[in-house]
Amino acid sequence: MEAAAARALQLGVSSVAFTDHVDWTLRNMHGAGARKGDRASVVDDVFVVEPLDVEGYLECLQRCRDRFPGLRILSGVELGEPHLHPAATARLLAGGDFDRVLGSVHTLPDLAGQGGWVEVGVAYRQRPALDVVREYLRAATELAASNAPFTVLAHLDFPLRRREHWRKPPFDWLMVEDETRAVLDALAGSGRALEVNTRMHFPVTLLKWWHEAGGEAVAFGSDAHEPGRVAHEFALAAELVEASGFHAGNRLDDLWGRA
Ligand SMILES: [Zn+2]
């Protein structure tokens, strides 16, 4: 976290939020194994994410704030499928006082027969590729329409990350326009913000549809996971967001609003 904060300052970024993962949905792995850097273990072929050490996280956040007073550092968390885990979500948020709470979908139903869930990458082995994207969007709609306590929907383009062949040529969002607009309508109706995630080139089509849905706010997420990727491609993302009808807020850590 300290290296990430140093990197942000070096880049001239004025404010960052550290939104570590909290995932309660158990994932059947079907032999896939954990990926390098996952804060998790695989027990009996089930992926179990380690609980967030909230106290340690907040201590480290304070160390970063003391060491880098020129950087505005927000606390935060990324909740995986919080609408499926209301009690655990409520317990976590009661003990943390997080400035920025992201909600996201990482899993889809496991079709292998025993019920349960699989990570999106494994879901691709169980259904036609386009069905994965459609189902992901339906799951995201459910999350966006729920009353789960989060303010930003993270990485709506997540399923594209897990499938090499969507990248070239780029995925055509018109194939899933109805499903995508359903997510954005539900999200806009809830008053929450859409995250422009720069792990991949964020689809400008989604920003256009977000504006048309009446979306009020945009957040920027580099989903960095390592200091070197903090604010990755933010300059380009900011241009796209501005061209889509949004502008920076008054305070350094404001979300971007409708122009
Ligand atoms: Zn995520």
Please write down the HEC assignment for all residues of 47-115.
Answer: EEECCCCHHHHHHHHHHHHHHCCCCEEEEEEEEECHHHCHHHHHHHHHCCCCCEEEEECCEEECCCCCC
pLDDT tens, position by position, 14-38: 999 999 999 999 999 998 877 777 7
Per-residue pLDDT, averaged over 227-239, amounts to 95
* Tokens linked to 36: 């390098």
Question: If pLDDT is split at 50, 70 and 90, which confidence band does 39 have?
Answer: confident
Residue 113 CA to ligand 1 centre (angstroms): 26
The percentage of residues in the chain with a pLDDT greater than 90, rounded to a whole number, is 83
113-117, 148-152, 212-216: segment of lowest average pLDDT: 113-117
Question: If pLDDT is split at 50, 70 and 90, which confidence band does 11 have?
Answer: very high
Residue 157 CA to ligand 1 centre (angstroms): 10
In the chain, where are the structural domains located? 76-258
Please name the fold of domain 76-258: TIM Barrel (3.20.20)
The percentage of residues in the chain with a pLDDT greater than 70, rounded to a whole number, is 100
Residue 156 CA to ligand 1 centre (angstroms): 9
Per-residue confidence (pLDDT) for residue 182, from 0 to 100: 98
What gap in Å lies between CA 210 and CA 230, rounded to an integer? 25
Q: What's the chain's average pLDDT? A: 94
> Is the pLDDT higher at 50 or at 159?
159
**Contact indicator for 191, 258 with CB cutoff of 8 Å:** no
Residue 197 CA to ligand 1 centre (angstroms): 10
What gap in Å lies between CA 59 and CA 65, rounded to an integer? 10
Helix (H, G, I), strand (E, B) or coil at 176: helix
- Identify residue 153 by its one-letter amino acid code: L
Residue 21 CA to ligand 1 centre (angstroms): 7
Per-residue confidence (pLDDT) for residue 177, from 0 to 100: 98
Which residues does 97 contact at the CB level (< 8 Å), separation at least 6?
Answer: 75
Per-residue confidence (pLDDT) for residue 234, from 0 to 100: 94
Residue 106 CA to ligand 1 centre (angstroms): 6
Residue 230 CA to ligand 1 centre (angstroms): 15
Model pTM score: 0.96
Residue 114 CA to ligand 1 centre (angstroms): 25
Per-residue confidence (pLDDT) for residue 76, from 0 to 100: 97
Per-residue pLDDT, averaged over 187-203, amounts to 96
- Cα 41 to its chain centre, rounded Å, is 21
Residue 64 CA to ligand 1 centre (angstroms): 23
* Tokens linked to 166: 């969507």
* Tokens linked to 79: 């909740």
Per-residue confidence (pLDDT) for residue 85, from 0 to 100: 97
Rounded (5°) CA angle 210-93-71? 70
Residue 219 CA to ligand 1 centre (angstroms): 14
Per-residue pLDDT, averaged over 53-64, amounts to 95
Per-residue confidence (pLDDT) for residue 170, from 0 to 100: 84
pLDDT tens, position by position, 131-169: 999 999 999 999 999 999 999 999 999 999 988 777 777
Half-sphere exposure for 84 (CA within 13 Å, toward CB): 20
> Is the pLDDT higher at 113 or at 140?
140
Half-sphere exposure for 161 (CA within 13 Å, toward CB): 15
- Cα 225 to its chain centre, rounded Å, is 12
Residue 222 CA to ligand 1 centre (angstroms): 11
Q: Please give the C-alpha separations between residue 154 and each of 28, 108, 140, 164, 239, in angstroms, as whole numbers.
A: 23, 16, 10, 20, 19
Per-residue confidence (pLDDT) for residue 164, from 0 to 100: 75
* Tokens linked to 202: 């964020």
Per-residue confidence (pLDDT) for residue 41, from 0 to 100: 85
Residue 9 CA to ligand 1 centre (angstroms): 24
Question: If pLDDT is split at 50, 70 and 90, which confidence band does 59 have?
Answer: very high
Residue 105 CA to ligand 1 centre (angstroms): 7
